[in-house]
Amino acid sequence: MARIVIADDSQFMRTLLKNIIEKAGHEVVGEASNGQEAVDLFKKLNPDLVILDIVMPVMDGMEALKKIIEINPNAKVLMCTGLGQQKLVIQAIELGAKGYIVKPFQAEFVIKEIERILSG
Partner 1 sequence: MIFLNELDKAMLESFIEEVTSILERISELISLGDIGADQINELFRLFHTLKGLFASIGFERTKELIHKYEDLLSDYRGRGASLSDRDRAQLSAIVNLLEAILANIDQGEQQFLRDIEELMLRFSEEESKAGKAEEKASPKEKGLTRIEIRIDPNEALVAAKMLIILKQLKDKGIEYFLISPDIKSIEDGSVQDRSLIVEVPSEKAQTTIELVKNIPGVTSVTSVAEHEETAKETILTHRRAEALPKTIRVDSDKLDRLLSIVENLTVLSNRLIAIASNTKNDDLISVVNLVSKAVGELREEILSIRLIPLSYIFSKIPRIAYDLANKLGKKVEVVIEGADVEIDKASLEKLNDPIIHIVRNAIDHGIESPDERRAKGKPEKGKIIVRARRSPRGIVIEISDDGKGIDVEKIKKKALERGLITQEKLEKMPKEELFSFLFIPGFSTSDKITDVSGRGVGLDVVKNTIESLGGYVELQSELNRGTTIRMVLPPTTLIVRALIIRSGNVRWAIPVDSIISIQEISDAQIREIASQKVVLYRDSFVPLLSLSRIFGLEDDSENIVMICGKEKKIALRLAEVIRHMDIVVKPVPSVIRGFRGITGVTILEDGFVAPVIDPEALVRFVG
Give the binding site for partner 1 (CB under 8 A): 81, 83, 85-87, 89-90, 93-94, 98-100, 102, 108-109, 112-113, 115-116, 119-120
Give me the least distance between CB of 53 and partner 1, in Å please: 15
Give me the least distance between CB of 46 and partner 1, in Å please: 21
Query: Is 43 or 109 the residue whose CB approaches partner 1 more closely?
Result: 109
Query: Is 18 or 112 the residue whose CB approaches partner 1 more closely?
Result: 112
Give me the least distance between CB of 36 and partner 1, in Å please: 25
- CA dist 108 and 80 (Å) reads 15
Residues 6+ apart with CB under 8 A from 18: 6, 28, 31
* Whether 103 contacts 110, CB under 8 Å: no
Query: Is 71 or 90 the residue whose CB approaches partner 1 more closely?
Result: 90
* Whether 5 contacts 45, CB under 8 Å: yes
* Whether 59 contacts 35, CB under 8 Å: yes
